[in-house]
Amino acid sequence: MSHFKAHSVLPGFNLALGFTLLYLSLIVLIPLSALFFKTATLGWGGFWTVVMGERVLASLRVTFFTSFVAAIINAFFGLIVAWVLVRYRFPGKRIVDALVDLPFALPTAVAGITLAMLYAPNGWVGQYFAAHDIKVAYTPLGIVVALTFIGLPFVVRTVQPVLADVESEVEEAAASLGAGRWDVFRRVIFPAIYPALLTGFALAFARAIGEYGSVIFIAGNMPYISEIAPLLIVAKLEQYDYAGATAIAVAMLLISFALLLFINALQWWSSRRGTR
Amino acid sequence: MSITIENLNKQFGTYKALDDINLEVNSGELLALLGPSGCGKTSLLRIIGGLDVADSGRLLFHGEDALQRNARERNVGFVFQHYALFRHMTVFENVAFGLRVKPKKQRHNEAEIKRRVHELLNLVQLDWLADRYPAQLSGGQRQRIALARALAVEPKILLLDEPFGALDAQVRKELRRWLRRLHDDLHITSIFVTHDQEEALEVADRVVVMNKGRIEQIGTPDEVYAKPATPFVYQFIGNVNLFHSRDHAPWTQQHGDAVAYVRPHDIDISHTPQDDTALPVEVKLVRAIGSIVRVEVAADESCELVEIELSRERFDATPLAIGDKVFIRPRQFRVFQAGEKNEFSAA
């Protein structure tokens, strides 16, 4: 450790590191390890039976699949929103900019109820889908809608500053070198914002995995089809099966951790190329 | 390729950035657009490069209308003040960019791209940096890479927007000489924008002096310095002393309100009156700066300081000390009617 310290001219290394570790322990590690301890009371066999239960597996599949789809949708449209907010000036831009944060501020249950009403077969939006025999509310599609709603700000807010940092001069330079719009995006802009986009994607994805409030109202919660893992956890809690609930939580945690680690590695690898 | 600009106008809101610009750029010429910030020089350059749109007027490249073509199609190399290099690409990839985005049919194969990029990097003497990223380069190196990148597509016209503006004085001097040599080798029609008169006079074949969206004078560096067409050019290029007719009537000779413009090195200083138009003054400051001696004098009746530059030899021939009563007389001057130009008030 002492040779890390020797490299840095910034003061307060010991204090800062100590504080960081303490803080993370209090806020993150201790609650999480409590989760693991509680799960451990089940023993390996018990843990395995809970997690490998067909209904649990199905709910995990629904959770991760819908979260992934929602994060992809958010990455795509969030990028467009960020683009518009950074590159163009139009009346009401500040209002649009503020709107982006609304999903953060709104209680998720309110969002869920509203979306469920809108997308129900007789709702304002749902009736048009219903006319084409597409059911949105009370299906996995509905879950995706809710998760897309709550995840949007993550992508917009992470991409926006990075995009603003890409000077328009760079685009002009590319254009004067003969690059078309698509080439400019693909070769100049995208590589610059890719790490931020990935971060936004990861945040939206992580947020979606843990989302409960907005989803349960629109999901319909049919076992094996539109039942998410957090709902199963709550169900187990209501039956006072605390160990069972934490077992599902631990399984979700491990999968999420692995996925986020993978995304981080991807990001580290891509950003390293630019600043090396 | 020659460039013809006819009656070009550009307005930003109520502000006229370009006011009826007419300009002919000869093929193979290195032209400087010189003026204070906000004079419209960068707007003009960007319109030529297709990065901005003119409100009205004509722009011809070698007799062909260029306004119809967008930046991609103009075959113009553009060099930005802040380099605008692609941060996530190596130096090699930056220079290769223009070659890689060519339409499939015109695109060279990888070996040819490699050969050309290395040729360009050798031209700017930075081949050894091919694998680095822009962030690892110094400002001067970045600008040379930016130039190599612009040259990669073999442009017929090269436009440089304050190319040395972000560099420190030493590097600046070096780079502008280097640019001049490069231009002598390549002979691409080039226009560069600068607010630094020294840079314009040293590098350019011809200088276009601009002010408030208008062209004040077009001429060789020698012409704009020795024969300024307007009071603005007089003041913008080199130092100048102003003598109002109401104070020094004998020099202005004209009737009415006029001002004589005199360069500091065009003033004679003597202990005895040269003739009856000589102005009696008192020496206020004597300062030797390298090869010249700067003397500041003030006429008795007013406190306005007059700046005089003497060569060492001349100073040694007539040594001066602070407080000496001497006489000055301009060897060469030019009179402008007061109110002839709005810029007059800037004096």
This model of the complex carries an ipTM of 0.79
Q: Residues 6 or more apart from A204 whose CB is under 8 A from it? A: A70, A71, A74, A75, A78, A151, A152, A154, A155
The number of distinct structural domains making up chain A is: 2
Residue B262 CA: distances (Å) to CA of B156, B240, B333 = 41, 6, 5
* Same domain (yes/no): A110, A192: yes
Do A173 and B80 lie within an 8 Å CB cutoff? yes
* Same domain (yes/no): A247, A134: yes
Q: What is the pLDDT of residue B274?
A: 77
Flag residues of chain A having pLDDT under 50. 1-2, 276
DSSP string for residues in A223-243: TTTT--HHHHHHHHHHTT-HH
The helix/strand count (H/E) of chain B reads as 10, 18
pLDDT tens by residue, B266-323: 888 888 887 777 888 888 888 888 888 888 888 766 667 888 888 888 888 888 888 8
Interface membership of A98 toward B (CB under 8 Å): no
Structural tokens at position A108: 């998720």
pLDDT tens by residue, B8-57: 999 888 888 899 999 999 999 999 999 998 888 999 999 999 998 899 99
Q: Which residues of B touch A167 (CB under 8 A)?
A: 82, 84
Distance CA B238, CA B209 (A): 13
Q: Which residues of B touch A271 (CB under 8 A)?
A: none
Do A169 and B102 lie within an 8 Å CB cutoff? no
* Same domain (yes/no): A62, A27: no
Q: Would you place residue B344 in the very low, low, confident or very high pLDDT band (cuts 50, 70, 90)?
A: very low
Do B72 and A179 lie within an 8 Å CB cutoff? yes
* Same domain (yes/no): A36, A49: no
Interface membership of B129 toward A (CB under 8 Å): no
Q: What is the pLDDT of residue A276?
A: 42
Do A174 and B152 lie within an 8 Å CB cutoff? no
Strand segments, DSSP code E, in chain B are 3-12, 15-25, 30-34, 56-61, 64-65, 76-79, 157-161, 189-194, 206-211, 214-219, 241-244, 258-262, 267-270, 279-289, 292-299, 305-311, 325-330, 334-337
Do A176 and B74 lie within an 8 Å CB cutoff? yes
pLDDT tens by residue, B89-131: 999 999 999 999 888 888 888 899 999 999 999 988 889 999 9
pLDDT tens by residue, B150-201: 999 889 999 999 988 888 888 888 888 888 988 998 889 999 999 888 889 9
Dihedral of the alpha carbons of B177, B179, B183, B185, in degrees to the nearest 10 = 70
Distance CA B241, CA B309 (A): 11
Residue B343 in this model has a pLDDT that exceeds 80 = no
Query: A2 lies in which domain range?
Result: 1-40
Do B72 and A178 lie within an 8 Å CB cutoff? yes
* Same domain (yes/no): A137, A256: yes
* Same domain (yes/no): A66, A5: no
Interface membership of B153 toward A (CB under 8 Å): yes
* Same domain (yes/no): A152, A165: yes
* Same domain (yes/no): A117, A230: yes
C-beta atoms surrounding B274 within 10 Å: 14
Dihedral of the alpha carbons of A225, A229, A232, A233, in degrees to the nearest 10 = 180
Which 8-state DSSP code applies to residue B127?
G
* Same domain (yes/no): A31, A55: no
Which of B78, B100, B102 is opposite residue A176, by nearest beta carbon? B78
| Residue B293 · residue B347 · CB < 8 Å | no
Distance CA B294, CA B320 (A): 11
| Residue A77 · residue A157 · CB < 8 Å | no
**Which amino acid is located at A72 in the chain?**
I
Please give the residue of chain B at the shortest CA–CA distance from A169.
B84
Which of B84, B135, B152 is opposite residue A167, by nearest beta carbon? B84
Residue numbers of A between 243 and 262 with CB closer than 8 Å to B: none
* Same domain (yes/no): A96, A31: no
Average pLDDT, chain B: 86
Query: Which residue has tokens 């950003």?
Result: A271
DSSP string for residues in A13-73: HHHHHHHHHHHHIIIIIHHHHHHHHHHHTTHHHHHHHHHTSHHHHHHHHHHHHHHHHHHHH
Distance CA A221, CA A213 (A): 12
What's the CATH number where A93 sits?
A: 1.10.3720.10
Do A178 and B98 lie within an 8 Å CB cutoff? yes
Q: Which residues of B touch A175 (CB under 8 A)?
A: 50-51, 70-72
Interface membership of B135 toward A (CB under 8 Å): yes
pLDDT tens by residue, B241-264: 887 766 666 666 655 677 888 888
* Same domain (yes/no): A22, A148: no
Residue numbers of B between 37 and 56 with CB closer than 8 Å to A: 49-51
Query: Which residue has tokens 């929602």?
Result: A70
pTM of the entire predicted model: 0.77
| Residue A251 · residue A51 · CB < 8 Å | yes
* Same domain (yes/no): A189, A210: yes
Interface membership of B77 toward A (CB under 8 Å): yes
Mean predicted confidence (pLDDT) in B318-335: 84
Beta bridge partners of B308: B295
Q: What is the pLDDT of residue B332?
A: 81
Distance CA A229, CA A247 (A): 11
Instruction: Report the candidate in B206, B212, B256 with the shortest Cα–Cα distance to residue B230.
Output: B212
Instruction: Report the candidate in B225, B186, B218 with the shortest Cα–Cα distance to residue B27.
Output: B186
Q: What is the pLDDT of residue A274?
A: 52
Q: What is the pLDDT of residue B345?
A: 35
Q: Would you place residue B339 in the very low, low, confident or very high pLDDT band (cuts 50, 70, 90)?
A: low
Do B150 and A191 lie within an 8 Å CB cutoff? no
Q: What is the pLDDT of residue B347?
A: 31
